[in-house]
Amino acid sequence: MSTFGSLFRVTTYGESHCASVGAIIDGCPPGLELSPQDIQVQLSRRRPGQSNLTTPRDEKDLVHVQSGIEQGVTLGTPIGLLVKNEDQRPKDYSETDLYPRPSHADYTYLEKFGVKASSGGGRSSARETIGRVAAGAIAEKYLKQVFGIEIVAFVSSVGKIHLPSNIAPPSLAEVDGDEDNDDVADALTPEFRQLLATITREEVDKHPTRCPHLATAERMTKRIIRAKESMDSIGGTVTCVIRNVPSGLGEPVFDKFEAKLAQAMMSIPATKAFEVGSGFRGTEVPGSKHNDAFIVKDGKLGTSTNWSGGIQGGITNGEDIYFRIGFKSPATISQAQHTAQYNGTPGTLAARGRHDPCVVPRAVPIVETMAAIVVMDQLLIQNSRKTAAGLLPPITTLPPTMVMPSH
Amino acid sequence: MSTFGSLFRVTTYGESHCASVGAIIDGCPPGLELSPQDIQVQLSRRRPGQSNLTTPRDEKDLVHVQSGIEQGVTLGTPIGLLVKNEDQRPKDYSETDLYPRPSHADYTYLEKFGVKASSGGGRSSARETIGRVAAGAIAEKYLKQVFGIEIVAFVSSVGKIHLPSNIAPPSLAEVDGDEDNDDVADALTPEFRQLLATITREEVDKHPTRCPHLATAERMTKRIIRAKESMDSIGGTVTCVIRNVPSGLGEPVFDKFEAKLAQAMMSIPATKAFEVGSGFRGTEVPGSKHNDAFIVKDGKLGTSTNWSGGIQGGITNGEDIYFRIGFKSPATISQAQHTAQYNGTPGTLAARGRHDPCVVPRAVPIVETMAAIVVMDQLLIQNSRKTAAGLLPPITTLPPTMVMPSH
Amino acid sequence: MSTFGSLFRVTTYGESHCASVGAIIDGCPPGLELSPQDIQVQLSRRRPGQSNLTTPRDEKDLVHVQSGIEQGVTLGTPIGLLVKNEDQRPKDYSETDLYPRPSHADYTYLEKFGVKASSGGGRSSARETIGRVAAGAIAEKYLKQVFGIEIVAFVSSVGKIHLPSNIAPPSLAEVDGDEDNDDVADALTPEFRQLLATITREEVDKHPTRCPHLATAERMTKRIIRAKESMDSIGGTVTCVIRNVPSGLGEPVFDKFEAKLAQAMMSIPATKAFEVGSGFRGTEVPGSKHNDAFIVKDGKLGTSTNWSGGIQGGITNGEDIYFRIGFKSPATISQAQHTAQYNGTPGTLAARGRHDPCVVPRAVPIVETMAAIVVMDQLLIQNSRKTAAGLLPPITTLPPTMVMPSH
Amino acid sequence: MSTFGSLFRVTTYGESHCASVGAIIDGCPPGLELSPQDIQVQLSRRRPGQSNLTTPRDEKDLVHVQSGIEQGVTLGTPIGLLVKNEDQRPKDYSETDLYPRPSHADYTYLEKFGVKASSGGGRSSARETIGRVAAGAIAEKYLKQVFGIEIVAFVSSVGKIHLPSNIAPPSLAEVDGDEDNDDVADALTPEFRQLLATITREEVDKHPTRCPHLATAERMTKRIIRAKESMDSIGGTVTCVIRNVPSGLGEPVFDKFEAKLAQAMMSIPATKAFEVGSGFRGTEVPGSKHNDAFIVKDGKLGTSTNWSGGIQGGITNGEDIYFRIGFKSPATISQAQHTAQYNGTPGTLAARGRHDPCVVPRAVPIVETMAAIVVMDQLLIQNSRKTAAGLLPPITTLPPTMVMPSH
């Protein structure tokens, strides 16, 4: 339903044409300095109208905090917030409304609910994500301040245009390459790990595509413009890194860190694919090369490689967490489509509305904030366990393998 | 934690060396004919020792039903069940226990819990999946009997050996191919759709690899044997189809059908990647080609293509649901690995235990049963809504676009 | 936390002095005709300033629906709503703020959160209940329209002034009366059952105390006026009946109907006691007199007496559900109290603010709406099971006692 | 359903005549020394056959731990446990099975599930409580060891026989006593508070009734024997105190401490009433007398009286938590009852089975362990918040009333 998280719990509401969209964030730690501007930053990165690559609607998306904060400090009580919809009127009846848009949610919403919002897909609207972004921005503030956790997402591909292979995520499968060749030199490059370790939001935002490699970004721009000009659309991928996450987060077995991360990401509109660490590419690498050997780093165990993507057995190990999400081409396009009406009559659906030809640039803050929500919730759960266990007296009679002190 | 689902709710327990592993299944509809054999079938497909491709331990994994069934019929009350562990003794202390196994959960479990089971990774053991498989087998029985829902998974790749491209899942990304060439003829082939529409578990089980294309299966066998002989391991992918799912399942926004499916799959040990429908490949296909046009099928709206994988806006549309999961190479290998002890001392970890060189053949029933749990839970939730809405009087004053009768 | 319910799920936010209080209602069936006025009715019954028995602040408490409703019909998506706070400024610092109010939540909120709202008790404010009342009003609309379910609460006591014994709830314990006298003639009277069967909100609202027996109501008025004039406060009880609830609601074992009802009621501020059916009095009545014999009513099994209060084994049986809630005397009083400051310094806390001398008249709609939320949620869950079971073929081989057809 | 708790989560299964009853306890802190005997103690206090006051069946109820514990120490993973049913055969068909037992769950279970266990009421069986008691015994171990938390319940009434008024719980309402007399001298006596402060399980167990006042206990014994001999049954109340609970537990607003406590207690079979602190009696005491003034105790704020029962605004304040639960007379009695068959035919239901004439002595450990589960879950949640907030830097710019340091 519309609630995510157990201790840091986000509940959202709102469609495209209602009075507002918003969220209630329950479980934010009390005593956190938090201003509307802390939230606005990510909302503004998400909003349409930022460049000629996105939909021309310029909505301000100003956040209005309703509760849970006083004197600039969180009270620990639920934070209610909302963003007004500029266009609150339900749409007028139109000829095109006889048609469910192909690959959009119009048809499935009607199948599910029996009635539908004037916007068609109801909660599948991109505006629904505003509540999550606001919630995640709050989580980010806490995580950054207390643990120095940094979450940075960037566009890693648009259509067939990918980051150069030396800085690309590992997962680009070979089909029937030399099946006896176990060489993996091209997969998890030092340059890619360096990119993960150092990339900042400022760098990402330097180009409207939010691709951090400028030459590639320029090609992506052209690809998006081509989609726009042909009244078509194109998809892409977003890669995200989370740095400085403490080890020990993630709740076996169903709420493994990567499982909740996958749910969070696959709940973002238009997503079709998720992979963490070596991802699909990892399926092709033998264990002897894929295993991340332990070494000492900063006086603590770390790993020399990071095929695992910072997660082992569903639990974080302290290394950088990285993952990639695939966004399909947007369903709403302006060119004529041969399809059928709700009543089955075949016909042609012509243009309606103006929409993003490619969503990945705007998806970047959505990915980051959803990641922040997952980390925050898992952190609060592990906090609880660790505190509870820490209050117990040490047990001195156990075999050494049960309490092997970690370095 | 160890509970999944809201109305069909599965809770599991158990590690490798404790008395038993098991589950409580709450919310099974009353009045379902259910025998232990219904459950045993999938447990037996999951158990080790089925061929020379898997671990030689031959565990019987017999299910013992504790409650919730009387006279062969479910009561609607929780079904408790368990499978005894053959080897219930905690392992002896060993030199190799000084080392956390690279890329295994030994280290992260210790970081999380501060103590660890003699098995090291505790709940990350493959034996943990027994509870889920049993639970899912119950869901399968209901779904098959009432809706004719069929769930069939198969191995689509081992290492670099994939199904032939004409029957392969669509998502095999091109890197920097001709970026202006939007041709997609190779991606979602009629043969693949035909495979999805007709594949059965009987066909899948004909070969120990559980790959339905025999020539490919033979190559996979060799690849696994090579891994085994070199004391190494190898990963692979499993593709799964769910047929005959009613439209309207999936709870926007955080519990979208694909989001819960992703959580379920990524909670299976050793998974690193998930994609549904066109997946990563869908990011490269323009909207005009990726959109699934509506047509009438069996007197109801369906789609001519199925890039969406049966889900639009997080809700099922009645078409075949298909998805692919990437399993990494198993972390436990017998060859020596240079790594560090818990205390940071560098050293070499030599062989211990015997383990599967490749998990994907045995993962097939795990994928199927987890899928069944997701479908069952979403079905029960939508059941409730549909029944509640159906009791309301029709509203005659609404604009036609709000109640567009679906064909 | 601030969320209640599984399928009909209510999440609230807001303190006394923030911008607004509100709620998100997730899981409302689609296709329900619903106007703001449907919600406003109960908000207006709850608001202060209705008579000289309540706090003189006259707040309008107008509901603003944000989402989930279009053209006067629910979409099935989350309904966001809010009520603005008239006084949104955090209070000024005051001498009395050095003192935690005795028996108020000032101290415990500080212990819990470490910071506190200017209102002191934060979410313990009566204004928090606005969100629930609005949510419950929506549930009431559905339950009334589809099942004819009627929920009516009334004031059954103020201080020591109770309804006359012939129409009083059964639970008034005798202490060491003749312990061998099992006579129960005074306990569950036909007049009381008649009152339950026929009482309406209109009758309840005829007197400002919301006590349906006028002579008693007048005495209650005097008692409240006495409390007000002596700058003191007084408690009371509210009794509630739910009529026409289908049999079969309530989820064993932890979510039994009465268990969720108890949670719901005991989550209302100032509640200290809850009982259902015969309640505490039922502990004194032998089984032979307390058991409700079955009889046929309207062609269906019913019971001749109703000591059970419509619930047996945690599941509704179709009879009237009735229960009673005890509200303590409000903690905030204007007379001087000897107590201690936060820092431990003893002293005298003098008057601050103006408050209800007795909350029970205004508690009536809160009790009703919380009851509606419980019924609605349990109904949706049972709907799901019943629909799922109803799709299974009948099993003809069972022993007759397993499928005993109910009359 | 059959799961309770969010971080300390208990899921139970089992009916009377199935193979076993049991539970999975998820979220137990790792590193706790825990033996089966720690669990057995409370199971043995709960089991039948302890005296001639209870059912003569002597079931051993030995716990079998399945997982989650190794070398006598908890791993932090789910603890599976079970107790075998001695009589595992479904009962034979009998004439009396044509009748739903009056006030038992036979009828409502059939209404809910459509099929029923041979035991009739399925999960309403007292054997279902075994899983909870085992789970709660684990929580008790932790709470005692780390916080010195003591939970002691005792029988405070059987039928009309109550503890002497000087040591009785406060809530015994006066009906139309002198309504202008606000004297409360009889209500919350120092002797009762002393009893709460000092009572131990050893003292409670000295008498088979588990009433700590011997003269009263003897009268209770006679009352129970009278019920038994007349083939009848009788109810009673259990009072429980929880000592040394840290302040700050309880999650506003729906999961207030007393709300979850009420749910937990009202989920125990045969309960009809719950009150905390002054309970129903508190409704009659003016605020000026009911308010608990703050004083300094052990260098910390405490209260001079404790009408609140240790909870204010839904949050614990560090004082003793006490509450009372009403258990109705057991529905299963051996004397003939005029009632109707499932098919509506009137008739007489004669004796079947042997059952407790009074459940309160055996309810004592059930109440204690359910209370322990509530405390444990709320403690883990507050642990998490406190740890999270404690990691934030102090904010020096806030008005003094927001961060009033507690003494």
Q: Which stretch of DSSP H or E encloses residue A321? A: strand A321-327
Please, are residues A82 and A21 in contact by the beta-carbon 8 Å criterion? yes
Q: How far apart are CA B367 and CA B274, in angstroms?
A: 12
Burial of B189 (C-beta count, 10 Å sphere; 0-12/13-18/19+): middle
Query: In chain D, where are the structural domains located?
Result: 3-402
Strand-strand pairing, A294-297 and B294-297: unpaired
Percentage of chain D lying above the pLDDT 70 cut: 93
Q: How far apart are CA C117 and CA C123, in angstroms?
A: 9
Considering only the beta carbons, identify the residue of D12, D278, D313 that sits closest to C272: D278
How large is the average pLDDT for residues B206-213?
97
Tokens 């259910």 -> residue: B34
| Domain D3-402 class in CATH | alpha beta
List pLDDT tens digits, range A260-313.
999 999 999 999 999 999 999 999 999 999 999 999 998 999 999 999 999 999
- How does residue B89 score in pLDDT terms, banded at 50, 70 and 90? low
End-to-end CA distance of chain B: 42
Instruction: Please choose, from the candidates A153, A160, A154, A156, the residue with its C-alpha nearest in 3D space to the C-alpha of residue A222.
Output: A160
pLDDT at A158: 96
pLDDT at C223 > cutoff 80: yes
- How does residue B132 score in pLDDT terms, banded at 50, 70 and 90? very high
Three-state SS for B212? coil
pLDDT at C407 > cutoff 60: no
Residue of B266, B271, B334, B380 for testing the chain A interface, max A β-carbons within 10 Å: B266
Token representation of residue C286: 């032998």
Considering only the beta carbons, identify the residue of C13, C73, C78 that sits closest to A2: C78
pLDDT at D302 > cutoff 70: yes
Considering only the beta carbons, identify the residue of C14, C30, C67 that sits closest to A13: C67
Among 3.20.20.70, 3.10.129.10, 3.60.150.10, 2.60.40.420, name the CATH number for the domain at A3-176+184-350+358-402: 3.60.150.10
pLDDT at D10 > cutoff 60: yes
Q: How far apart are CA A258 and CA B19, in angstroms?
A: 29
Nearest CA of chain A to the CA of B31: how many Å?
Answer: 26
How large is the average pLDDT for residues B124-140?
95
How large is the average pLDDT for residues C274-295?
96
pLDDT at A239 > cutoff 90: yes
Please, are residues A239 and A324 in contact by the beta-carbon 8 Å criterion? yes
The reported pTM is 0.97
pLDDT at A248: 97
Note whether B387 contacts C391, CB cutoff 8 Å.
Answer: no
**Residue A59: DSSP 8-state:** -
pLDDT at C238 > cutoff 70: yes
Q: How far apart are CA D260 and CA B262, in angstroms?
A: 33
- How does residue B136 score in pLDDT terms, banded at 50, 70 and 90? very high
Chains B, C: CB contacts within 8 A come to: 93
Portion 368-407 of D in contact with A at CB < 8 A: 379-381, 383-389, 391-395, 398-399, 402
Burial of B303 (C-beta count, 10 Å sphere; 0-12/13-18/19+): buried
Note whether A384 contacts D387, CB cutoff 8 Å.
Answer: yes
- H-helix segments, B102-157: 106-113, 129-147
- Nearest residue on chain C to D117, alpha-carbon basis: C402
CA D188 to chain centre: 22
Note whether B290 contacts A168, CB cutoff 8 Å.
Answer: no
Percentage of chain B lying above the pLDDT 70 cut: 93
Residue D190: how many CB atoms within 10 A of its CB? Answer: 10
pLDDT at D54: 65
Q: How far apart are CA B334 and CA B330, in angstroms?
A: 11
pLDDT at C380 > cutoff 80: yes
Chain B neighbours, 3+ Cβ pairs < 8 A:
A, C, D
How large is the average pLDDT for residues A328-336?
93
Contacts of B192 (CB under 8 A, 6+ apart): B166, B167, B168, B169, B170
How large is the average pLDDT for residues B194-222?
97
Portion 331-350 of D in contact with B at CB < 8 A: none
pLDDT at C366 > cutoff 70: yes
List pLDDT tens digits, range C113-135.
999 888 777 888 889 999 999 99
Residue of D6, D16, D75, D138 for testing the chain B interface, max B β-carbons within 10 Å: D75
pLDDT at B90: 59
Q: Which stretch of DSSP H or E encloses residue A3? A: strand A3-4
Q: How far apart are CA A345 and CA B76, in angstroms?
A: 44
pLDDT at D352: 64
**What's the alpha-carbon Rg for chain B, to the nearest Å?**
23
Q: Does A258 or C298 have the greater pLDDT score?
A: A258
pLDDT at D183: 82
Token representation of residue A228: 């726009």
How large is the average pLDDT for residues A34-38?
96
Active-site choice (C61, C106, C292, C356): C356
Q: What is the phi/psi pair of residue B157, to 5°?
A: -160, 155
pLDDT at A396 > cutoff 90: no
- How does residue C400 score in pLDDT terms, banded at 50, 70 and 90? confident
Burial of C229 (C-beta count, 10 Å sphere; 0-12/13-18/19+): exposed
- Nearest residue on chain D to B74, alpha-carbon basis: D115
- How does residue B405 score in pLDDT terms, banded at 50, 70 and 90? low
Q: Can you point out the beta strands (E) in B328-388?
A: 337-340, 346-349
pLDDT at D122: 81
Active-site choice (A17, A97, A232, A255): A17
How large is the average pLDDT for residues A128-140?
97
pLDDT at A56 > cutoff 60: no
List pLDDT tens digits, range B256-311.
999 999 999 999 999 999 999 999 999 999 999 999 999 999 899 999 999 999 99
Percentage of chain D lying above the pLDDT 90 cut: 79
List pLDDT tens digits, range D204-228.
999 999 999 999 999 999 999 999 9
Portion 63-102 of C in contact with A at CB < 8 A: 64-71, 73-80, 82, 90
- Nearest residue on chain B to C74, alpha-carbon basis: B389
pLDDT at A124 > cutoff 90: no
Note whether C392 contacts B146, CB cutoff 8 Å.
Answer: yes
Among 3.60.150.10, 2.60.120.620, 3.30.420.40, 3.30.930.10, name the CATH number for the domain at C3-174+182-402: 3.60.150.10
Instruction: Please choose, from the candidates A34, A252, A47, the residue with its C-alpha nearest in 3D space to the C-alpha of residue A135.
Output: A34
B393 vs C contacts (CB less than 8 Å): 145
Mean pLDDT, chain B, integer? 92
Portion 262-291 of A in contact with B at CB < 8 A: 262-267, 269, 271-280, 282-288, 290-291
Q: What is the ipTM of this complex?
A: 0.96
Tokens 């259509």 -> residue: A159
- How does residue B403 score in pLDDT terms, banded at 50, 70 and 90? confident
pLDDT at A120: 72
Query: How wide is the angle at C-alpha A359 spanned by C-alphas A354 and A364, nearest 5°?
Result: 140
pLDDT at B175 > cutoff 60: no
Q: How far apart are CA A288 and CA A295, in angstroms?
A: 16
Evaluate the omega torsion of the peptide bond into residue D253 and state whether it is cis, within 30 degrees of 0: yes
How large is the average pLDDT for residues C211-229?
96
pLDDT at B181: 84
- Half-sphere exposure for A289 (CA within 13 Å, toward CB): 20
pLDDT at D175 > cutoff 80: no
CA C33 to chain centre: 25
Lowest average pLDDT, out of A104-118, B210-224, B305-319, D134-148, goes to A104-118
Mean pLDDT, chain D, integer? 92
Please, are residues C223 and C159 in contact by the beta-carbon 8 Å criterion? yes
pLDDT at C17: 85
Evaluate the omega torsion of the peptide bond into residue D364 and state whether it is cis, within 30 degrees of 0: no
Chain D neighbours, 3+ Cβ pairs < 8 A:
A, B, C
Instruction: Please choose, from the candidates C24, C362, C397, the residue with its C-alpha nearest in 3D space to the C-alpha of residue C224.
Output: C362
pLDDT at A178: 79
Considering only the beta carbons, identify the residue of A76, A384, A402 that sits closest to D7: A384
What are the catalytic residues of D? 17, 104, 356
pLDDT at B179: 77
- List, as one string, the DSSP characters of A9-47: EEEEE--SSSSEEEEEEE-PPTT-B--HHHHHHHHHHHS
Lowest average pLDDT, out of C228-237, C342-351, C392-401, goes to C392-401
Note whether B237 contacts A280, CB cutoff 8 Å.
Answer: yes
Q: How far apart are CA C76 and CA C30, in angstroms?
A: 4
Q: Does A73 or C400 have the greater pLDDT score?
A: A73
pLDDT at B402 > cutoff 90: no
Residue of C11, C69, C92 for testing the chain A interface, max A β-carbons within 10 Å: C11
How large is the average pLDDT for residues C215-219?
97
Q: How far apart are CA C198 and CA C203, in angstroms?
A: 10
pLDDT at D113 > cutoff 70: yes
Residue C249: how many CB atoms within 10 A of its CB? Answer: 29
Q: How far apart are CA B406 and CA A109, in angstroms?
A: 11
**Residue C61: DSSP 8-state:** -
- H-helix segments, C47-99: none
Residue of B25, B71, B75 for testing the chain D interface, max D β-carbons within 10 Å: B75
Considering only the beta carbons, identify the residue of C29, C388, C402 that sits closest to B380: C388
Q: Does C37 or A60 have the greater pLDDT score?
A: C37
How large is the average pLDDT for residues A72-90?
89
Cβ of residue C244 closer than 8 Å to a chain B Cβ: no
Contacts of A115 (CB under 8 A, 6+ apart): B398, B402, B403, C30, C31, C73, C74, C75, C76
- Annotation says A104 is catalytic: yes
